[in-house]
Structure 1
Amino acid sequence: MSISPKKYTLMVAILTSFLTPFVATSINIALPSIGNEFTANAIVLGWIPTVYLLSLAVCLVPIGRIADIYGRKRFFTYGIILFTISSLLATLSFSVNMLIVFRVLQGLGCAMIFGNLFAIIVSIFPASDRGKALGITLTGSFMGMFMGPVLGGFLTEYLGWRSIFFFNVPLGVLATIAVTRIKGEWTEASGEKFDIRGALLYGFALVTLMYGLSILPEMWGLYLILSGILFLVLFYIIESRMESPVLDVKIFSNRSFTMYNLAAFISFCSAAPIVFILSLYLQYVKGLNPQWAGIIIAVQPVVMTIFSPLAGKLSDITEPRKVAAFGMIINTIGCTLLAFLGQETSIILIIIGLCLLGLGFAHFSSPNTNALMGTVEPRLYGVASTTLSTMRVLGQMSGMGIVLMVLVLFMGSSIISKQDYPEFLTSTRISFVLFAILSLLGAVASLVGGDKIE
């Protein structure tokens, strides 16, 4: 019996939507093991997840634009192949610097995947089946978030951290085979020019800003941060005057759209570093092995998986901005609770904090998307979707930047050891205080957003 192109599309969608969050969350569990093998300090370990997010953030918008011009399926396929090859190469890393380079390649591959996945689904499935297809795809993403800490901890404990990267290889090969069975190509912007100047300026601004955050409190760090902000302002001015911009920034003149994007940025800024911080805390300070650390951290995505559909339905029958704001308030409570972490903190208290964060993110994510997409006309859905994805990645990257900055301020270049636990715990508590404040600001941003377009 032959398999229809739609089923191949769903197979690819589930595999790729699983792989990207899986590799992002599982590697955090393996960081202490990587640090022990390569004798790397907390700052260097922080760059392993950060460069992945930075590469993804820098490339997501330009790759999405290039794919619109030259073919979405083509670049989607290239992304799967690059992600698979870079995963294989990561297993062969003999230094932390080499591993960081391969993480950059993984981020580029993920940008090619994420920048085209939902656009391909929308292009293949009719409106009557589109919601179901997108729902199935998100199921793969939630499974990746859940399995990342659990399976990542199991693999690290029994097969070593390299097995996490190798696990992606056969799945990537299977996705590559499946994507070749999808017929057709989509080039809605065929013939239009690619704004290479805008893409380079955008990428340079993000790299400058991120690196500046990581080397604070040095004066060069402050200079680089100010330069990054200046380049982003320049990027906005130039792109607003372009006929074929790499990012249509004019959409930000919509106040409601801008506020919901700001809320998404803040939410993911406070979400991304949690697994990184708690993975180090549970394995170093609490002395847990990677498997148990992964099981505990998996509590958050499990709660998200359970409550996200309910939160989505709730946002259909009431104002989604209020549901999203409620979620950010719960996040504020969860971050505040975890701001009291110490050497003697009960695991039960940590699990309660993770449950609150899972509940908060569940009530924020889909209602925020619902509210945001409701503020633009249907012809702008593509731009709005890409912009939201970019804000989420930028938020994750900025959150990691904040944690790196705090670690540098209190620990410097020290390798985490028992005598450094007090400084590490101080860094952890301050990070969660900052994320609690950000979450509260996210609730405000959600509430001041406007209503849907009728």
Structure 2
Amino acid sequence: MEESALPSIFSPDHSYYKWVISLIVIFGTLMVVLNSTGVNIAFPKIMKNFGSNPDEIQWVVSAYMIAMAVMMPTLGRLSDILGYKKLFLGALFLFILASGACSLAWSLPSLIFFRVCQGMGAGIIMPLAMVILLDIFPASEKGLAMGIFGFGVSFGPVVGPTLAGFLTEYLSWRAVFYSNIPLGLLGLMAIYYLIPDNRQRKNGRLDYAGLLLLTVFLVSLLLALGRGNEKGWDSLYIQSLLLVALIFFLVFIVLEKLIPEPLIDLNLYKDVNFSVGSLIGIFFGLSLLSSIFLISLFVQDLLGYTPLEAGLLVMPGSLLMGIIMLISGRISDWIDARILIIMGLCCLSGSAYWMSILSLQSSYLLLTVMIASRYASLAIIWSPLIAVSLGSLSQEKVGMGAGLLNIVRQGLGGSLGVALAAALLVSRQQAHIIQHISKSQLAAGTNLIPLKGFSVVGGDVLKNKMLLADFLKGVSVRQLTVAAYQDCFFIISVFSLLAIIPALFLRKDQTL
């Protein structure tokens, strides 16, 4: 009698199957997270290299986020046509290729273009990883699945800023991008050889008209937000962009309701938890990305930290975030996830308010604890929010739902966060400078027109200080800039607190 062969660990029937696939999927997405978190550390060097300011450099992030947002809603249709495996391989290959191109960028516009290509790959990879994990774990463990995903990708914030700081300080900011290539190639091999292609394919076509409308809407909106402070919010240029965004958004909504295979199934938003979770996701992304953007500039531009020191600053918080994500995800399978979400939002608001007291005398230890408290707050929210938002959707809608949640969190919320943080920082800085201009100089008829659109955050700070020398009476430009950062963190605190309101309308998960 022949002995029956043990089932392969890559067979869904094997007890280790979900853990092996989880490890491979997380490894494949790690490179995306490493790059997303590490590139912020290189901002000051990139700004110096290309002679740019915060309003301009934020497009390195915003363009990436827009591209991600545009690609995310295509996940459901593309996975039906290609299957999970081929789609994962194609997206990861595009990301690797774009990373190499970013390292060769010769100007800020070229870097932004290649970041768009990176974002297109990342826009598929991140939600696809979530869908695969939700697919292989039972419904009773969906919180655990998202906790594992969060724990895995949290190594990005742990390693990303530190690695980026080391590479930027001792090699070049370009190394932040070309270092993705070896890890990406390993990910490609692991996915190709180890992940089974068992997704049943369906015939269908991509909604190209909807994709075009969505792209124009997002680009117009983010361009208006990014250039509003520079051009003036009442300028014809900005108002035209906002009008274009509104028109294309409305046309997109009408089109999606009329066609049989829409890019986005608007019926998903009839689910209360999915709709509320999407709204909270906007606040989540806005708070997360705006904070990362501001902290990176603050510690390097004002406190004089090296890129490596700035990277090490966030390591403890990132480690804590990974552990709490895993724990909160598992706990959300046992208790009402709404409790964790509301508690996390309260902590998130409190941590941002705490950061509004930052000063030039803030110690390295204090900054580390502040950042750790912020990351811990985000970790409490993340896994329960995803689990409760997708929990009531049918299996065939989970892919599209995951893509849409990532749109509002990373694409819309994240891009809004970076754009608004950059614009708000410059605006508040100008306001504090003008407030400290001597009344006697104003009475003497000193011309203040040169201050319009003026910024001393980044760029040629020395030259800008010289331009302000006649306006200020012994007030340090650095002190006024610190006050602008404090204002920004206070406003982020208010936004985080407002997110509690929609959280009150979440419904209890019926699987508990």
Aligned residues: 452
Residues 11 and 175, structure 1, Cα contact 8 Å, conserved in 2 = no
Shift of 1:111: 1.7
Distance of aligned partners of 1:187 and 1:199 in 2 relative to their CA distance in 1, 3 Å threshold: farther
- For residues 222-233 of structure 1, the aligned pairs below 5 Å read 222-233=239-250
1:404 to 413, 422, 433: 422
- For residues 98-137 of structure 1, the aligned pairs below 5 Å read 98-121=110-133, 125=136, 127=138, 136-137=148-149
Residues 377 and 453, structure 1, Cα contact 8 Å, conserved in 2 = no
Question: Who is 2:109 aligned against?
Answer: 97
Residues 335 and 436, structure 1, Cα contact 8 Å, conserved in 2 = yes
Shift of 1:41: 1.5
Question: Who is 2:389 aligned against?
Answer: 372
- Single out whichever of 261-270 and 214-223 deviates more from structure 2: 214-223
Residues 205 and 232, structure 1, Cα contact 8 Å, conserved in 2 = yes
Question: Who is 2:491 aligned against?
Answer: 434
Question: Who is 1:304 aligned against?
Answer: 321
Q: What is the one-letter code of the residue matched to 2:262?
A: P
Residues 64 and 115, structure 1, Cα contact 8 Å, conserved in 2 = no
Secondary structure of 1:317's aligned partner: coil
Residues 198 and 238, structure 1, Cα contact 8 Å, conserved in 2 = yes
Provide Cα deviations, 1:161-220, integer angstroms capped at 9, x if missing partner: 111112111111112222222465466562223211111111111111000101113422
Question: Who is 2:353 aligned against?
Answer: 336
Percent identity (aligned):
25
Q: Is 1:53 paired with 2:65?
A: yes
Distance of aligned partners of 1:192 and 1:276 in 2 relative to their CA distance in 1, 3 Å threshold: same
Question: Who is 2:474 aligned against?
Answer: none
- For residues 152-171 of structure 1, the aligned pairs below 5 Å read 152-171=164-183
Q: What is the one-letter code of the residue matched to 2:119?
A: G
Q: Is 1:239 paired with 2:256?
A: yes
Secondary structure of 1:116's aligned partner: helix
Residues 64 and 112, structure 1, Cα contact 8 Å, conserved in 2 = no
CA distance in structure 2 between the aligned counterparts of 1:431 and 1:109, rounded to whole angstroms: 31
Question: Who is 2:470 aligned against?
Answer: none
- For residues 315-330 of structure 1, the aligned pairs below 5 Å read 315-330=332-347
- For residues 351-430 of structure 1, the aligned pairs below 5 Å read 351-393=368-410, 394-409=412-427, 410=429, 412=453, 414=455, 415=459, 417=461, 419=465, 421-422=478-479, 424-430=481-487
Distance of aligned partners of 1:305 and 1:94 in 2 relative to their CA distance in 1, 3 Å threshold: same
- For residues 206-217 of structure 1, the aligned pairs below 5 Å read 206-216=218-228, 217=232
- Single out whichever of 309-318 and 410-419 deviates more from structure 2: 410-419
Q: What is the one-letter code of the residue matched to 1:417?
A: V
CA distance in structure 2 between the aligned counterparts of 1:13 and 1:109, rounded to whole angstroms: 15
Residues 375 and 451, structure 1, Cα contact 8 Å, conserved in 2 = no
Question: Who is 1:443 aligned against?
Answer: 500
Residues 210 and 401, structure 1, Cα contact 8 Å, conserved in 2 = yes
Shift of 1:298: 2.6
Secondary structure of 1:215's aligned partner: helix
Residues 17 and 144, structure 1, Cα contact 8 Å, conserved in 2 = no
Distance of aligned partners of 1:289 and 1:54 in 2 relative to their CA distance in 1, 3 Å threshold: same
Distance of aligned partners of 1:371 and 1:122 in 2 relative to their CA distance in 1, 3 Å threshold: closer
Shift of 1:73: 2.4
Distance of aligned partners of 1:272 and 1:144 in 2 relative to their CA distance in 1, 3 Å threshold: same
Distance of aligned partners of 1:121 and 1:325 in 2 relative to their CA distance in 1, 3 Å threshold: closer
What is the TM-score normalised by the length of structure 2? 0.81
Distance of aligned partners of 1:173 and 1:360 in 2 relative to their CA distance in 1, 3 Å threshold: same
Question: Who is 1:13 aligned against?
Answer: 25
Q: What is the one-letter code of the residue matched to 1:272?
A: L
CA distance in structure 1 between the aligned counterparts of 2:113 and 2:267, rounded to whole angstroms: 35
Structure 1 unaligned segments of length 5 or more: list them.
none
Residues 287 and 492, structure 2, Cα contact 8 Å, conserved in 1 = yes
CA distance in structure 1 between the aligned counterparts of 2:139 and 2:385, rounded to whole angstroms: 23
Distance of aligned partners of 1:92 and 1:377 in 2 relative to their CA distance in 1, 3 Å threshold: closer
CA distance in structure 2 between the aligned counterparts of 1:122 and 1:376, rounded to whole angstroms: 12
Secondary structure of 1:448's aligned partner: coil
- For residues 284-303 of structure 1, the aligned pairs below 5 Å read 284-303=301-320
CA distance in structure 2 between the aligned counterparts of 1:39 and 1:308, rounded to whole angstroms: 39
Provide Cα deviations, 1:416-454, integer angstroms capped at 9, x if missing partner: 626353554344223212211110111222122222245
Distance of aligned partners of 1:424 and 1:362 in 2 relative to their CA distance in 1, 3 Å threshold: same
Q: Is 1:32 paired with 2:49?
A: no
Which is higher, the Rg of structure 1 or of structure 2? 2
Provide Cα deviations, 1:207-239, integer angstroms capped at 9, x if missing partner: 110001011134222332343234323322321
Q: Is 1:259 paired with 2:276?
A: yes
Residues 8 and 181, structure 1, Cα contact 8 Å, conserved in 2 = no
Provide Cα deviations, 1:354-373, integer angstroms capped at 9, x if missing partner: 12212211111111122222
Shift of 1:13: 1.4
What is the TM-score normalised by the length of structure 1? 0.90
Question: Who is 2:439 aligned against?
Answer: none
Shift of 1:316: 2.9
CA distance in structure 1 between the aligned counterparts of 2:479 and 2:177, rounded to whole angstroms: 33
Shift of 1:333: 0.7
Q: Is 1:85 paired with 2:65?
A: no
